[in-house]
Structure 1
Amino acid sequence: MVLHYLSERPGQSAGDDTSPVAARAGFVVGKAVGNSVVRHRVTRRLRAVVRAELDRLPGTADLVVRARPEAADADSAVLHRDLSAGLDRLLGDRVRSR
């Protein structure tokens, strides 16, 4: 999997005074991963795995998880391990804020 991380969201529109409450995550699971059934299964697994790790990110962060073809054969434990390792590399020694 490939992680794209944005620590702070770009400025909101002038009329929007709401502040972000929590980090957001998005998923890209292309046709290279498999057919529709496989892609949806991978997306569901990734969503569950990211939900467990999202609190590691600051509230202003956006994370995009792009699945590679190997994700089609990976179980949730492998996806979780890979996501955890990726976030460790991205965040380094940064303080975890909630």
Structure 2
Amino acid sequence: MLPRAARLTRGEGFRVAVRAGRRAGTRTMVVHWHDEGPAPVEVGFVVSKAVGNAVARNRVKRRLRHLTREHLQELPGRGVLVVRALPDAAAAGHEALRADLTRGLARVLP
């Protein structure tokens, strides 16, 4: 689980990160980063019904939360990170998600 302070729960934070932030797409996800956000960094996830049924969506969210928690220390001191899962994320293994998240973060972070 992500620490409570690191969870993005406000809809406005999602909108700002997706519309005004930098983004990088991979095969399984799109990573959005907006560096003019709150301190500490807040992280949110978007997993639509296109990914699969409720079981598949929750599995993808759990994996993404776990992987993002590993990268939390690498993120700058303030900002908003939104990870949007694509339909291929449901069939991807843990290592494929890890590689895509690492690649996406490397492209959007300053």
Which TM bucket (shorter chain)? 0.7 to 0.9
Structure with larger Rg? 1
Query: 1:24, 1:76 → 2: CA distance?
Result: 23
1:48, CA displacement in angstroms?
Answer: 0.3
Quick check: 2:31–2:81 contact (8 Å CA) kept in 1? yes
Let me know the Cα RMSD of the aligned residues: 1.2
Residue in structure 2 matching 1:2, options 1, 14, 30: 30
Tell me, yes or no, if structure 1 residue 51 matches structure 2 residue 69. yes
Query: 2:78, 2:106 → 1: CA distance?
Result: 18
TM-score, length of structure 1 as denominator length: 0.78
Tell me, yes or no, if structure 1 residue 26 matches structure 2 residue 54. no
Name segments (4+ residues, structure 1) moved above 6 Å. none
Question: Partner of 2:105 in structure 1?
Answer: 87
Query: 1:28, 1:45 → 2: CA distance?
Result: 13
1:41, CA displacement in angstroms?
Answer: 0.3
1:88 aligned counterpart, secondary structure: helix
Question: Partner of 2:93 in structure 1?
Answer: 75
Unmatched 5+ residue regions in structure 2? 1-28
Quick check: 1:29–1:68 contact (8 Å CA) kept in 2? yes
Question: Partner of 2:14 in structure 1?
Answer: none
2:72 aligned counterpart, secondary structure: helix
Quick check: 2:32–2:108 contact (8 Å CA) kept in 1? no
TM-score, length of structure 2 as denominator length: 0.70
